[in-house]
Every structure is written in structure tokens, then in C-alpha cells.
Structure 1
Amino acid sequence: MSSSKSRWADEDPEADALIAQRKREKEEKRRAKAEKQRREEEQTQLQAARSQSATASPNGDSDAPPKKRRRLSNEQQQQPTSGVDSQQNQVKSNLLQFPVLEWGPCRHVDNFERLNHIEEGSYGWVSRAKEITTGEVVALKKLKMENSPDGFPVTGLREIQTLLKARHQNVVFLREVVMGNKMDEVYLVMDFLEHDLKTLLDDMREPFLPSEIKTLLLQFLSGLEFLHSQWIMHRDLKTSNLLMNNRGELKIADFGMARYYGDPPPKLTQLVVTLWYRSPELLLGAETYGPEIDMWSLGCIFGELLTKEPLLQGKNEVDQVSKIFALTGPPTSQIWPGFRSLPNAKSLRLPPSYSSTQKGTAPPLLPRAKFPFLTNSGLQLLSSLLALNPAVRPTAAECLKHPYFREDPRPKPKEMFPTFPSKAGMEKRRRRETPEAPKRGQEAPKLDFASVFGGQTGGDAGEAGAGFTLRLG
């Protein structure tokens, strides 16, 4: 009787193929393991034979019992047995050894010779110095510690952290951190650049050419786009924090107020950014914001490059809001939805005639008379950067693609930029009557904006704005 499969047997061909493949894999692993074990045994026997021949007597008597073998180091096991091997090892020993980054103590500030003081900022003193060993000129920034009873200032930590993270050609390069003789003497060693834009604009007889403004803005936007891609807000962009060398290269500096942000943005302090470059949502008390505040500062710097003067020079917060609305027009629920929910907007009294006539949601164009030499495309870019509603301001990446930079005149090559005499060489930069950046720990003042549109103020008379009157028709 011929044998036949049971009717209970699995007749699935795919299952049979899978079982056969598993058996083959097990067999291959078994063979590989056996081959590896055989090679290890052969290597052990070969090493034992070499050790026995090395310990044999000089007269060739191999009957003597072998001595106990010492465990040889890798260097001893790899001793050359011929002239060729010796030559190869000599070539290897002559290879250059490069230093590897490792933890270690900071260098002392005495490695640098301080040449002259340049400027005092909100969070440190900047000096021009020379590294003694190389003779290279650098910028030496001493962090301010007197207002930090709890230890190392968080502004200094943030500046070091963000500068180490932001390695970009348009961001100032932090070389190292050095120490003095005391624990509160901490210095940042950075690349030295000859100028800042504020000093250049003050000393120039005429503003930059349109092609030069485009080159500066493109470099500024490139660095800002990189910072925002790394989730870093600068929070104190102004012309004095934009450095420039004599090769036409612009770099963003002074990260004492920089801060990482997220999505959704965290609750942050509203008292950031120097007053003349502070966005309207911060002035109205916003506590959640994002990189849009940097884009507003960019718009103020754009206008300053065009006119050679700061665009919005308010005496205080109320006066600053007055000047902003005088330039852009008052806010409405159409162009800035939800602005009434901001803490300081409750006291703002809008002209009733204006809100009834304002139509559309797009931000209006800024007055052409204030920027007579700006093209229509440039005016559109500037108006979008200075939009009251932060949600409609373009990002840095969108600005880089704006048609303003592709129309004539084209951006001037950096190599063709004019050079200027440095004000940081052997003299201090003169102090100007400009507001300083807010200091950490300072509380935001209680503001009353009832007088912005010419009404009666309900707060301190010292906070009264300049005001203006709208004339329609």
C-alpha cells in the first residue's frame, strides 16, 4: 500500500518554503560558527608556537620545558619582523596628531593684550584686543556680573549657548570663553569687525545706495533665517548690533536677550527689544510671541537704511505707539483681529470715524512721501514687515525670495563695497542719545494709551504720547 500524506497535514507551499528557508539559515549559521572557531584555534596554536620558539635555549635545545607565556601588549605583538615592516611603522609614527575637542579649563585673559575700549552695551563691555601668541586682533567682551546675586547671569549663558549653536557666516563667531583672576571676570572672545551700522549711518554724508542696501539686507536676512530655523529669537535687533567689516560682510551680534522658542510659543516677558525697534504687540503687552518681533525690527532697520535716521524715535512707550500708528494708521479689527485682547489695548481709544471707513484685511501701504526713492516692490516689502498684525508679517525665508531683490538695481557684490575708516581702532565710539535695551528683571510699566489719538491721558503725565489727529478726505 503506497504511503500518502495525512489529510491533517499542512499542504500550504508557502509555509513549506518558509520552513525550508529557516533550516538553510540555521545550517549556514552553524557552519559559520564552526569556521570561526576553527580559525581561532589555528591562531592560538600559531601564537603558542611562536612563543615556544622565542623562549627556546640559544643552543637550539627544544626539549627544555617552555616558560610561562607573558601576555603581550598590542605594541609588542606587532613588533616588526623585517626591514619593510620597520619602515612602515616608522612612517605611521610620523603621522600628524590633531587635537581633539575635550573638556578642560578655560584659558586666562592674560593671553590677550587689550588695546582699547570700544563700547559699553547693556550686558557687557567690548574691547579691542590682540592675541599674544598669534598677533590676531579680536573683540573681547566682558560680561556684566554686578546685577547677578544668584550667580552667573542668564543673559550671559544664553549668549554663549546661542553663539555656539549659531555657526553661520552672517552671525558673529564666538571663538572661546576666557577667565580673569576672579570668578566674576568672564570674557567672550569673538571675531573683530571694524564697524557697526549705527556708527556708519551717523558718519556718512549720504545714505547707502539702493544696491548696497539690498546687499546688506540679504546678508541680514540670511543670518536671521538661520537663527529662526534653529528656533532662536534675537529679541534686540538694531543697527548698533549689526557689525560690518571692510570686506562688505555683515554679521549679527549681541545675543544677550536671545531666547529659544517653540510652537506654540511659550509665555515670555514683554519687556524686550530696544524701544525704537519694539513691535506694537509688545508695546500693547503681548506675552506670547514668536520671530515676528524680529521681523518688525528688521522693517525698522530697513527704513533706517533708507533715511539714515531711526524710523520711529519715541520718547517712551506711549509716544512710541503714537509714532507707530502715525506711520501705519490706527489698528482695526479688520487688519489686526484680536488686538483688543492685549492687556494695554483696553485703554486705547480709536477715532470712531476711522474704523467705519477702513475696509479690507491687507495691511495698507506706508506713505510714499516718506520713502520717495523706494520702488513699488520695495515699499510693499517694507509695508509687510511693518504690518501691525504679526500674523501677516513675512518670514525671513519669504523675504529672501521677494522680487525686490531681483529687480534693478541688483545687489552690489560684497567685494565692490566701499571701505570706511574704523571708529574702533584707537578711539571710543561716541555715545548717542539712543535708548538702551531693557535689563533683565525689570518689570514692565503700567501704561495708559488713552492719549495716543489726542484724548485725555489717564495716567502719569510723563508717559503722555505725542499724539496725532486723523484727517480723512
Structure 2
Amino acid sequence: MCVSDCLFCVLAEIVHEDVKMSSDGESDLASSSDDVQSPVRVRLRNKKISTEDINKRLSLPADIRLPDNYLEKFNVIGPALFEQPISRRLRRVSLSEIGFGKLETYIKLDKLGEGTYATVYKGRSKLTENLVALKEIRLEHEEGAPCTAIREVSLLKDLKHANIVTLHDIIHTQKSLTLVFEYLDKDLKQYLDDCGNMIHVHNVKLFLFQLLRGLSYCHRRKVLHRDLKPQNLLISDRGELKLADFGLARAKSIPTKTYSNEVVTLWYRPPDILLGSTDYSTHIDMWGVGCIFYEMTTGRPLFPGSTVEEELHFIFKLLGTPTEQSWPGISSNEEFVTSNYPQYRAERLSNHTPRLSSEGVQLLSEFLQFEGKKRISAEESMSHCYFSNLGNRVMSLPDTASIFSLPEIQLEKETTKPTATPDQGNRIIALVINISNGAASLL
């Protein structure tokens, strides 16, 4: 199957969240042949089809704006669609007629960022008038779509959760592959910057819980994110945190399979992976959770190493250089033995996290375990006493419900960092210019 066919098959499953397909590829909304004369179908023959009927039949969001004349056209050819099983091909054709999978359906507003393979734009959907994020991936003539893009699409189409970014649409052309996501205002790194690297301690707890909630959902489905960092956690105005950028994510379905150890941004990479392990599971993400938890609490990264060796040095300096007692088997790890790290004694985490309660420090220590199997899981973490003041109802929410749907869950107002005065701004600009010329003195 070519990349184009693969992506179009995926598109048929994206919009919207509630379509379930049976083993023969048909929607299980369709009835069997013995109930063709059901009262519902008789009523449909005798009435005009409404926008609500189409949205329900095609499992579209309620705020979709159907194109002009589409409803009229559907009333001419549509009744037959409601009297037969809806195949993937028929649904795909219907989505295309509405405007899904087409570049002209979306308006580019601003460029948000650019990387080696992709450019991200802020945009607007003509179907809903809502803001969207357009991730435009450039296609090489001979290589086609990057495997990371196909992996991201194939995983996200099956992950429907309030704390995971929603993939709305896919647009495949000869020159590019565009992924259309829901738009969120900023990532966690920007949020930290906006509040002067001092997030309210209550909001730290809410962000951490939402991160764990999204991860627990992924891990139950054997999906490993493998690239957790503040830049990949998006935050809405309401305070909803969502996992994003599943380009390095993998579905781990075979327990004995090994994976690459060139995953996870260095600062958030666990020590077992740094030392070459390729046999890992969901615990690979939990070390990163601990690093992000610390960063939200203190406003600074926990282990900001520039090389693998320096990263391990920082880890051992805080947590103590591992021994056979603290990490069984470490003495036979060739990379560890060769590096000959100094024998550091573990420091108290509480000395480095004065804003954290004792329960918070305890939870942090359970994330930062050398051995992956000893790290607390995302699901177990959500029941930790650190979250007890959030109440019981937050634990029983449906997957697609936000924690902020509960009135007792509220984001606290942050203290934003002061804006520089014009004079301060000029001095900062002057400093930057001087540094670029090799002189670090203020004018």
C-alpha cells in the first residue's frame, strides 16, 4: 500500500471520535438486513434530512458548517445512505465533499515555528470557524512522507482523550502532508516563561495530574510517548494540559521487542536509556514526568546536561552514584564502568524543592528511580496522596471530559512577570548587539 492510500485510510477514521467499525470494515451504526423496515428508517424516508442527521450519520462534530447546497444535494441522494451500511469509502467520499482533506478548507494566519522537516502555522477552519494548528510536513520527491509523520497520524487517530491533542484532519498533496490539530495558546515552556518561572503550586498539581491522566490513557493502550518535555505539553487558556508531538511515540505490543535508545530529549532521558538500554516499556516516560514536575516547581531544568556523560554526571550528583545495592546489575554495564564516575552520595530532594510539600517530594522521588521497573506508573501516581485535595470525582471522569468540567477544580491566577519598560528594552537590545559583537558590557 502506498503512503497516499495509507493516509486516506487513516483520514476516514479521524472525524469524528465516535465511529466504530466492525470486522468487515462497515460502521456498526448500520443495521443488519432484517431490520431494514425499522421505524427509524421509515421516518427518514418521510422527512427531509437535517444537518443534525448528517452530523450523526457521519459522526461529525456538532459545530461543523456544511457547505452551501450540500444539505439540498444530500436530500436528493441522501436517503439511500441512511438505508444501507456506510462503508469506509462512502464515508471518505462524504467527508471530502464537505471539505475534509482539502487545503482550501483552512486559512493560514501566522507562522508559529519551523523545524527541519515541518513548519507549523496558526490557522482557521472554514468548517467550524475555530482556530487550528497546521503542521505542514515537506515531502521529498523520492522519500515521501517521513515515518515520524505516519507514526504520529496512525497513533493519534486512536487516542481520544481530554489530555491528548486532537488531530482533526489530514491533507496530502504532492508537495506536503498537513496535519490539522486543535489549537492551543502555548506550551508549558512558554507558560513558565510568562509567569517568570514561578508557577502557582496549585497549578503545578493540576498540570501534573493532567499529564499523568493523558499518559495513563496512552500506557493502558501500550503507547509510549518517548519525548516528554515542556515544549510538547500544550496548555489552553482554561488550563487544560494536552500531550502533543507523537512523532517519536511507539506502540509496544510485543513484550520482548527492543527499541532505539536515541529517544527522549537529553534533559528528560532516564539513566537506563542513557546507559544504552533498548529494552523498556511505559516506565521510559515516567522519568521525564519527574523532571517536568521538578521544573514546574522550581522554574529550572533538573538535569541540563549537554552530553550523555554530563547528563549522567548531574543525575548521579543529585541522586547518588549507583551501586550494586541501589541498582542491581549496574556493575556489569560497560558504559558505566568505563566512565568511572565519582562516588557521590545522594542529596535530599527536599533541599532542592522548598515549594513542594512532603507528599510532593515523596512522589517526585518515586518518579526518579534508577531502575525503570521501580518507577511509579502513571495510573498509580494519580492515586498518590499528593493529589488528595483534588477530591474523588476527578478520578472517575470519562476519558474525553476535562478536569475543569468539575466546579471544584479551578486554576489559580498566576503572577505574570513584569513587562520591560522602553528604556529597559533599549538596554536589553544594546546588550544583545554588544554580545553578538563580542562585548558583553551594557551601553
- 1:316-370, CA deviations, whole angstroms, 9 ceiling, x for partnerless residues? 1111111111111111111111234445224132557x7xxx8xxxxx6743221
Q: Shift in Å at residue 419 of structure 1?
A: 7.6
For 2:256 and 2:414, how far apart are their aligned partners in 1?
A: 41
Letter in 1 for 2:276: G
Aligned equivalents of 1:128, 1:416: Cα separation in 2: 25
Structure 2 counterpart of 1:110, which letter?
E
| Distance in 1 (alpha carbons) for counterparts of 2:116 and 2:266 | 13
Q: Equivalent residues in 2 for 1:137-286 (5 A)? A: 137-146=131-140, 149-180=142-173, 183-205=174-196, 207-286=198-277
Letter aligned with residue 135 of structure 1:
E
- Is the aligned partner of 1:292 residue 2:283? yes
Residues 244-298 of structure 1: CA deviation (Å, up to 9, x unaligned): 1111111000111000113524111110011111111111011111111100000
- Residue 416 of structure 1 and its aligned partner are, at CA, apart by 3.7
How far did 1:231 drift? 0.5
Aligned-residue sequence identity (percent) comes to 34
Once residues 264 and 409 of structure 1 are traced to their aligned partners in structure 2, the CA distance between those partners, rounded to angstroms, is 35
Q: Is the 8 A contact 2:139 2:145 kept in 1?
A: yes
Deviation, 1:210, is 1.7
**Larger displacement relative to structure 2 (267-276 or 199-208):** 199-208
Matched, 1:112 2:106: yes
Q: CA RMSD in A?
A: 3.0
Superposed CA offset, 1:411-437 (max 9, x none): 99554443899xxxxxxxxxxxxxxxx
2:145 corresponds to which letter in structure 1?
F
Say whether 1:328 aligns with 2:319: yes
| Aligned counterparts of 1:378 and 1:248: Cα–Cα separation in 2 | 20
Q: Structure 2: which amino acid aligns with 1:130?
A: R
Letter in 1 for 2:160: R
- Structure 2 residue aligned with 1:318: 309
Asked if structure 2 preserves the Cα contact closer than 8 Å seen for 1:247 and 1:417, the reply is: no
Shift of 1:164: 0.5
Count of equivalent residues? 325
Per-residue deviation, residues 435-459 of structure 1 (Å, max 9, x unmatched): xxxxxxxxxxxxxxxxxxxxxxxxx
Q: CA separation of 1:343/1:290 partners in 2, compared to 1, >3 Å: closer, same or farther? A: farther
- The Cα of 1:216 is off from its aligned counterpart by 0.7
Structure 2 residue 382 is the aligned partner of structure 1 residue 393:
no
Instruction: Give the partner amino acid of 2:268.
Output: Y
1:103 to 81, 92, 95: 92
Provide the residue aligned with 2:46 in structure 1.
92
Q: 1:329 to 1:133 in 2, by over 3 A?
A: same
Aligned partner letter, 1:384: E
Q: TM-score, normalised by structure 1?
A: 0.63
Note closer, same or farther for the CA distance 1:145–1:274 as it changes in structure 2 (3 Å cut). farther
Helix, strand or coil at the partner of 2:226: coil
Which SS does the other structure have where 2:157 is aligned? helix
Letter in 2 for 1:177: I
In 2, Cα distance between equivalents of 1:90 and 1:272: 53
Query: 1:201/1:89 Cα in 2 relative to 1: closer, same or farther (>3 Å)?
Result: closer
**CA pair 226-350 structure 1, distance change in 2 beyond 3 A:** same
Tell me which moved more, 130-139 or 270-279: 130-139
Distance 1:420 1:138, change over 3 A: farther
- Partner of 1:139: helix, strand, or coil? strand
Structure 2 residue ranges without an equivalent (≥5): 1-36, 59-87, 395-403, 417-443
Which one scores higher on RCO, CA 8 angstroms, separation ≥ 6?
Answer: 1
Distance in structure 1 (CA, Å) of the matches to 2:138 and 2:360: 40
In structure 2, relative to structure 1, the CA distance for the partners of 1:417 and 1:377 (3 Å cut) is closer
In our comparison, the structure showing a higher alpha carbon Rg is 1
**Does the aligned pair in 2 maintain the 1:285–1:343 contact within 8 Å?**
no
